A and B are shown apart, each in its own frame.
Chain A
Amino acid sequence: MTAPLDAPADLDVANLALDDFDVSDPKLYQDDTWYPYFARLRREAPVHYCRQSLYGPYWSLTKYKDIMQVEVNHQVYSSASELGGIAVEDQPKDMDRPSFIRMDPPKHDEQRMVVSPVVAPGNLANMEGVIRERTARVLDGLPRGETFDWVDRVSVELTTMMLATLFDYPFEDRRQLTYWSDVAIANVRSPDAPVHSEEEKFAELTKMAEALGKLFNERAQQPPKFDLLSMLAHSEATRNMPFREFMGTLSLLIVGGNDTTRNSMTGGLMALNEHPREYQKLRDDPSLIPSMVSEVIRYVTPVIHMRRTAKEDSEVGGKEIKKGDKVVMWYVSGNRDPDAIEDPDNFIIDRPRPRQHLSFGFGIHRCVGNRLAELQLRILWEEIMQRYPVIEVMGPARRTYSNFIHGIRSLPVRIPA
């Protein structure tokens, strides 16, 4: 979360030439040392060009307002899979997996509208009861007086149950969805990733698409139901997707449907432990939970960046972006921009305007499941505060080697006996 400001890495960052900055290095996020790089970029080179990286040259946007400018201009800044998509690292050309997050209008709009009703306000009200009942059951089953992994027992468990419901996937096999989610976001250069080459990743995601494709075909033969597979199978815009697009769409819905919320569930508990005064504020006044949930999502910033590709020459923050350039919007940095958010490095559960953050993105690609994510987090904290006033973090978190998903793989915690 917050890298300590006096960490030795700061000295190196202060002396490093700006030309040598490459914030796409996944190690920065695994080691949680990204902070000083962005603090200096925001001050000295808010729109920064990295000439050379593992992923080729790219622009970095580090200020809230510059990110917003690009977010709302999809006419110039494209998400198209053919141009490279939405991450600083392109998917391999012959293995790219399009989905509506990697499309521009009009096809993006048609496909997004197919799935959005499942996370619309009316349906959320229907789901609240089942989410609360499951959350209560998971929390009641936690051990007391012994150390356990919060990620596995709570964050993964709850978000995977949600995912199984959204897809109407066999409940007892639900951890398969977690596995595919982890495969889809894996950086294949990481030793602890579930797959170690793009070919292996493609093969595993092919298995995912075949398994879910079977259910998709069954639902196409049945009357329409209110689950994602049935909705995809019965809609004009999505019923005949090419195989790789089907793979991409499932990967998007699975990752978007669990991983970001998973990491906010873990990151929130860490933030409260790092800020004991805020934790006490929460105990004294649980009505702060909705505002705290927004603050957790800002502070954690579950998606590190999104990338666009310029379709014409343009200007951002006084810099000339050329047609074809990669433009990376670093949400982790925009969410810590003091020109947009007061006292941004502090976790403050009752800050004014807590919803004003970049974590969901803005513009036409804004997170479609944002209100479901907030609902799950709100219920989790309401149920936690009724049971466990103290949950202690017992050791360091293990983080994901990724410059895209701000993942936490494990976190040892203890509930006092």
Chain B
Amino acid sequence: MPRITYVEYGGREHRVEVPLGLSVMRGAVDNNIPGIDADCGGECACATCHVYIDQEWLGVTGTPVPGSQEASMLSFAALAQPNSRLSCQIKVSEALDGLVVRLPEGQH
């Protein structure tokens, strides 16, 4: 199973294995990793599973398609950066083995 590292705002790291096909959001929620709220449960309808993708991984995960629902929801996330994604929209694949995502100060 691909291993993903979630880094809390305070710096605490969680390295977990996430089954193929699940979302990066689900991997955090199923492992009780604090800092990802996922209020809408993965419908891309809030912005509370917001993560920052480490630079070297941006080429693999991609960035939100301009004009997409994800881009629209992210535009309201107070702490959004160019490397922001909604983790419910990233599907776990073998190519993501070793992915590092960082969590924002808070979800909003």
In the bound complex, how far is the Cα of B73 from the Cα of A21, in angstroms?
A: 35
Q: Say yes or no: is B79 at the interface (Cβ < 8 Å to chain A).
A: yes
Q: Say yes or no: is B81 at the interface (Cβ < 8 Å to chain A).
A: no
Q: Say yes or no: is A68 at the interface (Cβ < 8 Å to chain B).
A: yes
Q: Say yes or no: is B22 at the interface (Cβ < 8 Å to chain A).
A: no
- Given the known inter-chain contacts A353-B41, A363-B45, A371-B106, please indicate yes or no for A72 contacting B79, CB distance below 8 A: no
Residues of B in contact, count (CB < 8 Å): 22
CB distance from B71 to the nearest CB of A (A): 11
Q: Are A362 and B78 in contact (CB under 8 A)?
A: no
In the bound complex, how far is the Cα of B41 from the Cα of A125, in angstroms?
A: 25
Q: Say yes or no: is B37 at the interface (Cβ < 8 Å to chain A).
A: yes
Q: Say yes or no: is B1 at the interface (Cβ < 8 Å to chain A).
A: no
In the bound complex, how far is the Cα of B43 from the Cα of A68, in angstroms?
A: 8
Binds B, one of A37-45, A113-121, A197-205: A113-121
Q: Say yes or no: is A356 at the interface (Cβ < 8 Å to chain B).
A: yes
CB distance from B107 to the nearest CB of A (A): 7
Q: Are A116 and B45 in contact (CB under 8 A)?
A: no
A contacts with B: majority SS: helix
Scoring B residues 6 to 43 as 1 if CB is less than 8 Å from chain A, else 0, what string do you get? 00000000000000000000000000000001111101
Residues of A in contact, count (CB < 8 Å): 26
Q: Are B105 and A121 in contact (CB under 8 A)?
A: yes
- Given the known inter-chain contacts A68-B45, A363-B45, A364-B72, please indicate yes or no for A121 contacting B78, CB distance below 8 A: yes
Say which residue of A71, A122, A360 sits within 8 Å of B105 (CB atoms): A122
Q: Are A364 and B108 in contact (CB under 8 A)?
A: no
Scoring B residues 44 to 55 as 1 if CB is less than 8 Å from chain A, else 0, what string do you get? 111010000000
Q: Are A72 and B43 in contact (CB under 8 A)?
A: yes
Residues of B within 8 A of A (CB): 37-41, 43-46, 48, 69, 72-73, 75-76, 78-79, 104-108
Closest 5 CB pairs of A and B: A121-B106, A120-B78, A362-B45, A355-B39, A121-B105
29 contacts between A and B (CB under 8 A): A68-B40, A71-B45, A72-B44, A72-B45, A105-B72, A109-B72, A109-B75, A116-B78, A116-B108, A117-B78, A120-B78, A120-B79, A120-B106, A121-B105, A121-B106, A121-B107, A122-B106, A125-B105, A353-B41, A356-B39, A356-B41, A362-B45, A363-B45, A363-B73, A366-B46, A366-B76, A368-B76, A370-B108, A371-B107
